[in-house]
């Protein structure tokens, strides 16, 4: 299952352009940034109202518009996700997380920053 592919099919069916080259300078990206903001606010409102159904709907809608933004900018999200996942997993030492007093997982010496440029194909490692 590819969320990004599902949204690409939707965009193609709706005659919305899907970028194959990296670019943020287009009307579609501006539209999707606006939609991300709208969906975030609706999701936040559902959370504040403790409405689990609307929260779930909002979260799914946020993923949808974020995948639309990726398609509008030529970003292959799976590549970025894999890099960020590897970085986040580097926060564990011997399979254990070090947390602060609020429960946030901290960055130990094993942590490495994700190489997003490489994930986007902008630099070779």
Q: What is the pLDDT of residues 80-122, one digit of tens each?
A: 999 999 999 999 999 999 999 999 999 999 999 999 999 999 9
Q: What is the pLDDT of residues 34-53, one digit of tens each?
A: 999 999 999 999 999 999 99
Q: What is the DSSP secondary-structure string of the chain?
A: --HHHHHHHHHHHTT----SS----SHHHHHHHHHHHHHHHHHHHHHHTT-HHHHHHHHHHHHHHHHHHHHHHT--HHHHHHHHHHHHHTTEETTEE-B-TTSPBP--TT-----HHHHTTSS--
Domains of the chain with CATH codes? 3-75 (1.10.3420.10), 79-119 (no CATH)
């Amino acid at each position: 299952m590819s969320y990004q592919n599902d949204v690409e099919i939707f965009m193609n069916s709706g005659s919305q352009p899907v970028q194959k080259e990296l670019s943020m300078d287009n009307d579609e990206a501006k539209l999707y940034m606006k939609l991300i903001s709208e969906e975030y606010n609706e999701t936040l409102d559902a959370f504040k109202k403790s409405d689990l159904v609307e929260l779930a709907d909002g979260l799914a809608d946020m993923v949808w518009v974020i995948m639309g933004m990726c398609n509008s900018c030529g970003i292959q999200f799976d590549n970025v996700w894999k890099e960020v996942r590897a970085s986040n997993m580097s926060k564990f030492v011997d399979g254990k997380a070090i947390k602060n007093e609020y429960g946030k997982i901290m960055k130990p010496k094993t942590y490495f920053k994700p190489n997003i440029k490489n994930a986007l194909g902008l630099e070779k490692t």
